[in-house]
Amino acid sequence: MPGRRSAVLAALVAAAVIACSTPAIAQPRTVARAAATAEHAGPTAAAERRVEAMSADEQARSIVMGHIGGTDPAALRDYMSQGFGGFILMGANVPATDAGLPAVTAALTVDRALPPLIAIDQEGGIVSRMHDDAYPAATTLKTSPPEEVAAAFAARGSLVARAGVTVNFGTVADVTGDSGSFIFGRALGSDPAGAADRVEAATEAQEPFVASTLKHFPGHGAAAGDSHHATPATDRSLEEWRRTDAVPFAAGIDAGASLLMFGHLAYPSVDPLPASLSPTWHGIARDELGFEGVMVTDDLGMLLSSGDPAYADPVANGIAAVAAGNDLVLMIAGSTPATAGEMATGIAAAVASGALPAERLEDAATRVMSLRMQLAADTATWSVCADCAPAG
């Protein structure tokens, strides 16, 4: 959809510089993210050299996105001093006002020359961690034209970026017309074509500000049930998937999304394993859809919450996730301050034993390192237009 892409890009640039008619949009003075987006097609030579010089333990720590609660700078810095490649901010990490969030993200950055990936689930609306995001979200945008989606997500992307957050797990590419589905209120459309147009717009609007993420691949729409408590499954075939759930993800990938999040849901006709642990689905994303960015799991703690004894060991889940093709493993629910380190140690041990190919860990670490280096090189700075007022 190259014609539509150009139109949406023009709309998002206009949205990012418009003044008082749009609430509180930050204005980029220098937007290196726009140029960097073109390089998100895979690992860079500089990242490869850096990863080659790392031990297996260092590589393993670099592909773990950890989490602890609270806003205490000393505790956060001590936690990230273990060498983790990322941190996800949850509600307990966000101060009473968003103005205090930059202090939190600064504390998470042990090495200013190579910041970790600092992520947040800022979809807006139903899933919103930040207090100041009053911009339209999926509940209304699912029937809006793409230009309005672009304006909302340009504003949202700038809000996230100003706080020092570099990754937004904010674009729901799932599609469903079932109002009873847990994902319905978060999806950007109830039909594949309409959702694809809005996912494309949301992706292009955010990428000049933050590394955007498409979730939850290959799509919750057809799988009944909530993956926070179970592993939903669908009898949809691969061919049916290509005509339906795949369409918004393909649009977002073509639009330049930096990350692709894999969901804990199964298409048994394709692979009985949850997609997050499925080599088959990771191969489809790489080989069929052409995604070359960072593949990240949804919260692996959700597998623990499913109650399935096959997924009772978080370290084993992390190893399986990397073996399947994920580059970044995320663990929140059920974790302790020690869990991320234990997962990294387990991944490194799996390499030492031969259970996990060293090349797979190196590839994952290189993709994560490449994104970190690209984000560290960006020179975007932000200011809020003086006359803008919050949405009301």
Establish whether the linkage from the previous residue to 309 is cis, with ω within 30° of 0. Answer: no
Q: What is the dihedral of CA 294, 167, 264, 185, to 10 degrees?
A: -140
Contact status, residue 254 vs residue 1, Cβ threshold 8 Å = yes
Contact 108, 87 (CB under 8 A): yes
What distance in Å separates the CA atoms of residue 303 and residue 156, rounded to the nearest whole number?
30
Residues 110 and 81: beta-carbon distance below 8 Å: yes
Query: Using omega within 30 degrees of 0 as the cis cutoff, is the peptide bond preceding 131 cis?
Result: no
3-state secondary structure of 170: strand
**Candidates 191, 226, 228, 313; catalytic one:** 228
Catalytic residue among 298, 327, 363, 378: 298
Distance from C-alpha of 108 to C-alpha of 167, rounded to nearest angstrom: 14
Residue 156 in 3-state DSSP? Answer: helix
User: 3-state class of 297 per DSSP?
Assistant: strand
Residue 298 is among the residues annotated as catalytic for this protein: yes
Residues 6+ apart with CB under 8 A from 108: 76, 77, 80, 87, 116, 118
Count of beta carbons in the 10 Å neighbourhood of residue 349: 16
CA distances from residue 86 to 175, 369, 392 in whole angstroms, order as listed: 28, 10, 34
308 is a catalytic site residue: no
Residues 6+ positions from 7 with CB-CB distance below 8 Å: 147
User: Phi, psi (5° rounding) for residue 306?
Assistant: -70, -20
Q: Of 206, 195, 133, which is closest to residue 169 (Cα–Cα)? A: 206
Catalytically active residues are 228, 298
